[in-house]
Structure formats: structure tokens, C-alpha cells
Structure 1
Amino acid sequence: MPGFALEPEQQTWCDTLRTLAREKLRPLAEQGEAGHLNRPLVEALGELGLLERLFTSGALDLCLMRESLARGCTEAETALALQGLGAAPVARAGTDEQRARWMPGVRAGRTVAGFALSEPGAGSDAAALTLAAEPERRYGSGSARESGAGGSDGAAVGDWRLSGEKCWISNAPYADFYTVFARTTPGAGARGITAFLVPADRAGLSGTALDMLSPHPIGTLVLDGVRVGRADVIGVPDRGFRVAMDTLNLFRPSVGAFAVGMAQAALDATLAHTAGRTAFGGPLKDLQSVSHLVAEMATRTEAARLLVYAAASAYDRNEPDVPKSSAMAKLFATETAQFVVDSAVQLHGARALRRGHLLEHLYREVRAPRIYEGATEVQRTIIAKELYA
């Protein structure tokens, strides 16, 4: 499809990113500890200008970055994506003061952000979150009580206390601040959620790392009466769900790009293996069962890539069907990557199951994207809803 062919400068940039991922970022990733935040890796993304570009480019640029990095270093791709996910609400909907305080460090890779939406009982159904933001009423001489401000009891509502638990949170418990989504109006569904910027050193905030199948920094957060004020609100009170969805609509196609990058890495490894491996009197590629499977892997990967690019381009053009195209891209690309990586493992045989093999690494990495930022089943629900609208 010529409409989705990359410009020469885009292709050159992608080639450069793959080289950087392989030669500069991969060694840093290998020095890190699985499941822990790798600050040198995040700082390297800042030094290379990738985090700056992350917040100044469109959705297609984001997809090209994530796909290219994933082909050479999935840890670098994930570090970039988690930084973007956690800080995008501040960059896009935060106040001037919030952006001035936090974004320079985020872009430089010195300040790490986390995105705190999911809860133990509210993962795919994000609108059902229950972490409570309860008003804190303040009294004192010369206060609103004496000036007549506030409610019927004379109390002025100036702050909230956050109480509850978040789970499956990016960069927890290592981030320097979190975008936390809390329930400010009980019983109001999606229209009663507020986004808050919560520094990690706020009293009452604690966290624990989770040991995940994929080697990513993911954890839980416990908020025990954490105080937040009006200056911490991202966007408008009770409209935080829109902040979350705007962020996810931007990042969903790029989750697909991450998946495409992994699929392409697995396909590249498979082409090399089946061309060089001899079995039954000749190279594996000469067996029809093998060559046909490889052809299917390549076709699905390219189809996924085109869907991702189309969704990202639709987002950049502000087209009305962004939710549907984003959901289609994430759905198809992540399911495709699972198929391609699994097929690659099958064609490589037992060697691909050995710890440290590229495909063993990809096999652990590829499973999570079918769940996070909206599971496959949620994407199908979104698509169907948009089709019948």
C-alpha cells in the first residue's frame, strides 16, 4: 500500500534506532536487573534525544520508535514506553507549573514517571476504579469559616486524601512521581474520576515490586491517606477518565508497534535459522511445511504493521474513528506477535527454550501486550461498539 510507505528519512531514522538499540542500549539493558528500574537505560534514552522526541512527535513517530527499538532491545522499548505513559498526562493536560517542575527531568531521563490507573478489582474496566479521594476539611482562625466560604458547616474544601491500592503499575515502586487516577465523586462512573500528580515522596505512599513473567518494572502502590491539593490535579476534577483515555488512545497503536517489532525480530531469526539449518537432507526452508509457515508469519507481520501505521496516521490527522482503528491495531498486532513468536520457537526447536536465547526472551515478552492497556477482549468490545454506533 503506497500510502503507508515510509519516507526515506523515516526509514533511515528507523535503521539508526535499530543500530542504537543493538549497540548502545542492549549492553545497558544487560547490566540491569530483571524486573527493576534501569535508570542508566532511561538516562541513555534521554541523552539520545528519544524522550524529547517522544513528547514532541505524533503517534506515527512514536510507533516507529517503539517498533525499531523492540527489534534490537525490548527493554529499551519498554523503558521509553513506560516513561511516556506515565508522563503523557502531565505533558498533555497538566498545568504550566506541573510541566515546568517535572517534564525537563522526564525528557532528560533523570525523572521517572509511572501511570497508576489499574487496581486489583478494576483492570480492564477502568471506570470501575475505587481508590478514594476524600475531601479534607480545614479549619482555623482567619479561615474560610470566618469569611463565610465553604459549605453549610462553614468548612472550605481545599485538599483530598487518597486511600486505596493500585496494581500492575508501570515503574512502581521506583518512579519519582505517578499519575494517579482516583474516585472523587462516588457513584458517578467514568465522570467521577480525577487525575492527580503524586510525587513518590508524599507521606502515606508506599509500593512493592511484582515478579512478572516479562522482565519489566511493574508493582503495586498503597496510598494511605496521601494528601493532594488543587495544584496536583491534572486537567479538570471529575474529568480524569478522559485524561486516561486520551493517553491510552495515543499509546494503543504503539503497543501494536512494539508487538510488530518483536514479531519482526522473531521472523528475522527464523529466516536465518531455516536457511542455515540442515535437516532431512537439505535446509529447513526447502520443506514446504516450513516455508509456508514462514510465509504466513511474514504476511501477518506486514498486515499488522500496516494496521498500526494506519491507526497512528488516523490519530495524527485527528480522524473520528481513532478508538476503532487504535483498537484494531492493538488487537491484530499483539495477537499476530504471539503467533509469530510461538511459530519461531517451534521452528527453532529446543534451542529456543534455553534461557538467554532471543526467542526465549521474546516468548516471555510477547504475552503481556495482549493484556495491558486494554486486553484483547476489551479491544473487540471497543471495535464492535464503534461499528454499531
Structure 2
Amino acid sequence: MPDRSFLTWPFFEDHHRALAADLEAWCAASLSDIDHSDTDKACISLVAMLGEAGWLTYSAIDPDAPGKLDVRSLCLIRETLARHDGLADFAFAMQGLGTGAVSLFGTETQRDWLHKTRAGTALSAFALSEPRSGSDVAHMDMTATRDGNGYRLNGEKTWISNGGIADIYTVFVRTGEAAGAKGLSAFLVPADTPGLRVAERLDVMAPHPLARLSFEDVRLDANAMIGLPGQGFKIAMSVLDVFRSTVAAAALGFARRALDASLIRVKQRELFGAPLSEMQMVQGHIAEMALDVDAAALLVYRAAWAKDMGAARVSREAAMAKLFSTDQAQSVIDRSVQLHGGEGVRVGSIPEKLYREIRALRIYEGASDVQKIVIARAVLAGND
């Protein structure tokens, strides 16, 4: 039984505890037999399942009664899903990240898409990275130029999650109102828009739907722009400010699964006539793993709580949560592999799957080294 004592922490309210219990029961009943042999099919199926069960209503605002996103709920959902099935976490996360700009800045017409994404009948994607700009968003090359009462988009996006299976893309491009970050804008682009094509599908060590997208004279009406011209960087950072903490939560879920599997292993496996759990060196590993999990949880839910309490920006808190949680989850999972011995590197074992799953989280939505820059700049600015 996974540790649930953290739910008594003052970060949470009763509805968060009820959510965690209900989702835990649903995951146990629904995610044990997911077929991962066809990644695209599995992801589409998981989005439909999450939508039918109502979990995707947390991923975006209600377009009929606009409010705000509950980041603590988002984090609890991602942590729980990740602990049960990494692709289920991915499916949920992309419905939120892909429509985050629409939730925060979209028009009433654009928010119509949220009916579909929250129901699981349409998949969304967040198209920010390019071949020459990943974490350095301000230097993207893709452009949108004026064309009558609309725009024409030209360029490429890459490492786009849900690329190739999404129904709607939030795309960030250079519109040129000013140099650097001040000259970017965001657009909502349906997948069937002429000129948008999947240039390449990208395979990674923990299979997820990923693609490089090509935009060739993609014609959009002006009302496809999210927010105002030149607001693209602000919109992207606002979305990441919300969802970066949830990446940390997913890492936390992976780490908890690794710790749980290790506890079972060391209690059942014997060495020299006694359970592994009686060896002091093994106890040292377990203590360090438990410490890393609890410390990560404190950072994750501090960032989520701060955002829910009305903080305008939680860039520092979210960066700390993502950096620490993803890095320490990698360490926890590595120890789990070690404690499982040969079983830990067997393809299909829990530690082996987690080992492949966790690595990407230290890269996407801001690599670990970039998070250090964000944290350092926030700390230095606070001391001016």
C-alpha cells in the first residue's frame, strides 16, 4: 500500500483528499491491463478513458463557467497516474498543457475546444520547441507573417508531444513586434489545417507519441491568435508556471512506485539466510529513498499551494520542485534497480520501466540546468 500520509499535510483540503482516494480506486480498476504495444492507439484510448471517467475536467477550465485551474489537483492526479502507468500520466498531462494557453488567455470561441479536450474526444498538443531552440524560447525561428486579415505560418516544431495524433495544436511563433521574447505570439491551429504536416515521428526510449511538425504557408484567420500580438512569451511562461509543478509531481509518482517496489523486494528477498531488509546498507538505501520522496513532495505541493493561493508567479518554486523532484526521482529509481539486482534490468520489470520513463522528465519543460538558472536569477533578484 503506497504511503498516503502526505495527504494530511496542510497543503490540502478535504476535496483534494477525496480526489486522491477516488482516483486511486479508479487507477487500480482501470489501468492494470493497458496494452502498450501500439503507443498511439494506447494514448488515444487512455485520453478517452480519462475523459469518460471525468478526470480530464481538471485539465482545463470549464468553458461554461470559467474559473481557475487547481494546481494541487493537477499535481495529485499526475502523481497518482504516473505511479500506476506512465503513459496514462502523459495522456492526462498533454490535455492540460496543450490547452493551457486557451484556459488562461483564450477567447470564448477558442474555449469551445475545451468541451472536447475535457471530454477526451479531442487530443491537444503544445508546440513550442524547434530544431534550434528548446529551452531558449526567445530565439525561435518559426514565423507568422501578416496576410490580409490573417497570418501565414512557416517553419518547424520538434519534440512535440502528441504530434501526429493531436486534433489541435497551440503553436508559438515569431510575429516580429519586437526583438527576442517580445516578438512572439501564440496561435490555435487545428491539425487538419492545410500546410500542416507531420514531417517525422520521433522514437524515444520510453515510447510516447512525439513528432517533428512542418508548417508550410499555413493560413490562419486573425481570430486564431491566442491573446494579443507579442504576448506569446508571456503566455508560454504563464502556462509553464502552472504545469511545471505537475512535471515534478509525475516524477514524484515514479519515485513512489520505485520505493514501493523496493520495499516489497527487500522484505521478500533473502541473502545469507535473512531478508535484505535486515542489512544495514540496504536500510541506508531505503532511508535515502524515503527522504528524497518526502523532500520532493514538500517542494511539489508547496509550489502548487502557492499558485492556488493566488501567487502571480511561482517560477522559483516550480523550478525548485521540478529540478529536485526529477533529479532525485532518477536517484531513487537507480537505487531501486540496484536493490532488485538482475531483476532490476530485466526488460518489463517495474524498475526497468521506471528507469526509462524518468529520464525525459529531466529534459522537457525546461532541462535541469535551465531550472538552476531560473532559480539563481530569482534568488539574486530577491537580494537586490
| Identity level (%) | 44
Instruction: List per-residue Cα deviations over 1:168-199 (Å, max 9, x = no partner).
Output: 10100110110000100076111100100011
Match of 1:222, SS state, is strand
Give the TM-score of the pair, scaled to structure 2: 0.92
**Structure 1 residue aligned with 2:25:** 19
Distance 1:245 1:368 in 2: 20
**Which amino acid in the other structure matches residue 119 of structure 1?**
E
**Which residue number in structure 1 is paired with residue 156 of structure 2?**
165
Q: Does 1:55 align with 2:46?
A: no
> Residue 70 in 1 paired to residue 61 in 2?
no
Other-structure match for 2:170: 179
> Aligned residue for 2:94?
82
* 1:94 counterpart = 2:106: yes
> What secondary structure is seen at the aligned counterpart in 1 of 2:110?
helix
1:357 aligns with 2:349: yes
Residue in 2 that maps onto 1:315: 307
Any residues of structure 2 matched to 1:88-237 within 5 Å, and which?
Answer: 88-100=100-112, 102-136=113-147, 157-185=148-176, 188-207=179-198, 208-237=200-229
In the alignment, which residue of structure 1 is the partner of 2:230? 238
Q: Is the 8 A contact 1:95 1:234 kept in 2?
A: yes
Q: Which consecutive residues of structure 1, in runs of 5 or more, have no partner in the other structure?
A: 137-156
Distance 1:387 1:283 in 2: 46
**What is the letter of the counterpart of residue 168 of structure 1?**
W
- CA contact 2:43–2:87 (8 Å) conserved in 1: no
Corresponding letter in the other structure for 1:114: A
| Paired amino acid for 2:379 | L
| Alpha-carbon distance in structure 2 between the residues aligned to 1:9 and 1:162 | 43
Per the TM alignment, residue 69 of structure 1 is displaced from its structure 2 partner at its CA by 1.2
Q: 1:9 to 1:107 in 2, by over 3 A?
A: closer
Deviation at 1:19, TM superposition (A): 2.7
Structure 1 residues 312-370: Cα deviation after superposition (integer angstroms, max 9, x where no partner): 01111222561100100001000111000011001101112112111111111000010
Which moves more between the two structures, 198-207 or 312-321? 312-321
Classify 1:224/1:55 alpha carbon distance in 2 versus 1 (closer, same or farther; 3 Å): same
Q: Would the alpha carbon gap of residues 301 and 213 (structure 1) be closer, same or farther in structure 2, given more than 3 Å must change? A: same
Whether 1:384 and 2:346 are equivalent positions in the alignment is no
Unaligned runs of at least 5 residues, structure 2: 1-5, 62-68
Structure-1-length-normalised TM-score = 0.91
Q: Secondary structure at the match of 2:375?
A: helix
Structure 1 residue 229 displacement after superposition: 1.7
2:16 matched residue in structure 1: 10
Q: 1:334 to 1:68 in 2, by over 3 A?
A: same
Q: Is the 8 A contact 2:59 2:95 kept in 1?
A: no
Correspondence for 1:294:
286
Amino acid at match of 1:17: L
Instruction: Give distance in 1, aligned partners of 2:87 and 2:25.
Output: 15
- 1:342 is aligned to 334
Superposed CA deviations along residues 49-80 of structure 1, whole A, max 9, x for unmatched, are 11112224411111011111111122111100
- Alignment-mate amino acid for residue 169 of structure 1: I
Classify the secondary structure of the residue corresponding to 2:311.
Answer: coil
CA-atom RMSD in angstroms = 1.7
* Distance in 2 separating the partners of 1:189 and 1:337: 34
Partner Cα distance (1:378, 1:325) in 2: 14
Which whole-Å deviations, capped at 9, do the CAs of 1:10-53 have from their partners, x for residues lacking one?
Answer: 334313312322321342x3255136662121011001111112
